[in-house]
Structures are given as C-alpha cells and as structure tokens.
Amino acid sequence: MSDKLILYNIPSKVDTWSGSVAKVKYLLDANNISYETVWVPFNKIGETLAARGIKPNPEPPLYTLPAITIGDLTISDSSKIVKYFIENQDDLIKKGILKDEFKAYNDLVTPEFFQYFENFIIKSEPLHDLIYKLLLANEVHLLNDEDQQPFIESRLIKGVDIPAIERQAKELNIARIWENATNFLNRDLKESFNYPGLQRDKFLTGKFVYGDELTWADILFFTRFNHLEELAKANVEYSKIPENGLVDSEWIKAWIKRVEDIIN
C-alpha cells in the first residue's frame, strides 16, 4: 500500500469546521507534508474509522476526527498523531513524507500540556462564556445541511442541548461577552496561563508562543484564535464577531501573521 498520507476532514460551509482537525491540518502544512484530504460526512465518521481498524472510545462520541492514514496505519486523536510524527521522524524523512526535522517538539510537547491547555480554555471564564454559551450553537449552522441533525443528536448524548444553548444565547449580553473575551486574549492571557514549569521569559515574548521556533504550542493557540473567527462566520445575528475583530495586541497580530506565513 502507498505511504501517501491521508487526512480525514468533515465537509462544511467553512474551510475546516472542526478545530481538532484544524490542529492537525495546520501542523501538516507547517511541515510542508503533502497529503490527500478525504472528506467524511459527520454521520459517516464512525463507519469510516471502524473500517480502518480504529477502536471506539469508551464513551460517546465513539469515533471522532482528526485521523490520518499512512500506508496501512490509521491514527486517530491529535496528540497521538503528534507523538507518532515525533517518534518516527527519521523513518518518515527516509520515506519522503517529512522533508526535514518535524516542527512541533519542545519541552511543552507533553500530554500534560495538552490537558492543561484544554482545561485552561474551559476554566477561563471569558473564553468559556464566549465558546460554550455563545458560539457553541454556531457549529451546527456551519455544517452541511444533511449533517446538522446528526451533530445535534451526538451532542445530546453527551448532555449538550444545542437548540437550548442557542435559545439562551439570544438572551445574553452579547457585546459584554465579546468585550470580556477580547480583553482576556489581548491583555490577560500571558499572566493567566500558569502551566507548571513554564519559563515566563520565553512565553509570548519571542517570535512564537514559546521561543523563536514554531511548535505545537503555536498550533494549539492559533487554532483556537482561528476557530473562534470561523465559528463567528455562521452569520447568526446573536454572535457576530465585533467589527474590530478579536485581536488588538500588536504582539498577537504579528504572531498570527508569522504562523499564517508558515502554514499557508
């Protein structure tokens, strides 16, 4: 079987609907890795991954993207995909899949960092309110029409009632939520991010998130920034992004441009 890399993505009304898939897509692009995109409708994810030998998750959703295939190997979950590239770097260079050293590794590339990052997003009130009270319901509007109801049902199994969130969002102080989130991202992020062992003189001070080389930390932060803006493209009146956008910090603006230059 060919060693050509396949990235599984979900067709939608935006470039990459899933923030989780976007993380892997940006990482592949940053490393100039050629890949073929296989578009998998939301309601076909399970049967597609099961056919590739992926075991179901212990709790719903049983199957999720991102996933990649190289030869006869399929890997699901972004942290496992990063781990695979790091551990098989030399072999992937020999096969011509990687052209050079894999741009991801530094001392932040640990499972603990991934978990801290996700918990940080969930527990930071300004971001929590923006993502989980306002923009979460937008996701369904960005899916293709035939996938919207399966998505709603998949979230209901986990106790997340998308229609109820949407009804509640219309009653919120939208301007205040956006203002709090943008203030947090532009002015409070650096001091609030307290990952154990973080060297503060390297964090959000150089060219990239943690020093002068692009790493997985940049992909995680960039994906969140970009995904917020993608969700706002649903053009739902109650959650339109402010005209001046999410970013006014000069460092963050310059950093976003540096990351975009690498992944585009």
**Per-residue pLDDT tens digits for 96-146:** 898 888 877 666 667 788 889 889 988 899 999 888 888 887 888 889 999
In degrees, rounded to 5, the angle at the alpha carbon of residue 235 between the alpha carbons of residues 231 and 238 is 90
In whole angstroms, what is the distance from residue 113 CA to residue 197 CA?
Answer: 10
- Same domain? For 66 and 184 the reply is no
Could you tell me if residue 74 is inside a domain?
yes
Coil vs helix vs strand at 52 = coil
Residue 99 lies in a domain: no
Provide, rounded to the nearest whole percent, the portion of the chain with pLDDT above 90. Answer: 43
Count of CB atoms situated within 10 Å of the CB of 51: 9
Query: Residue 30 is part of a domain; what is its CATH number?
Result: 3.40.30.10
- Whether the pLDDT of residue 2 is over 70: the answer is no
In a shared domain, residues 198 and 72: no
Q: What is the mean pLDDT of residues 204-218?
A: 89
Calculate what percentage of the chain has a pLDDT beyond 70: 94
For range 69-95, the mean pLDDT: 90
Distance of CA 179 to the CA centre of its chain: 22
Residue 103 domain flag? no
Listed residues 60, 94, 128: the one ending a domain: 94
Domain range enclosing 12: 5-94
Domain total of the chain: 2
Regarding whether 168 and 204 lie in a shared domain, the answer is: yes
Sheet of 5-9, strands arranged across: 36-39, 5-9, 67-70, 73-76
Give the end of a domain, one of 64, 94, 124: 94
**In a domain? residue 69:** yes
Q: Which residue has the tokens 């229609």?
A: 163
Cα distance between residue 79 and residue 149, in whole Å: 28
With respect to residue 101, please indicate whether it lies within any of the assigned structural domains: no
Asked if 70 and 5 count as a contact pair (C-beta separation under 8 A), the reply is yes
| φ/ψ of residue 173, rounded to 5 | -85, 90
Q: With contact defined as beta carbons under 8 Å apart, do 66 and 24 qualify? A: yes
In a shared domain, residues 60 and 172: no
Q: Are residues 88 and 131 in the same domain?
A: no
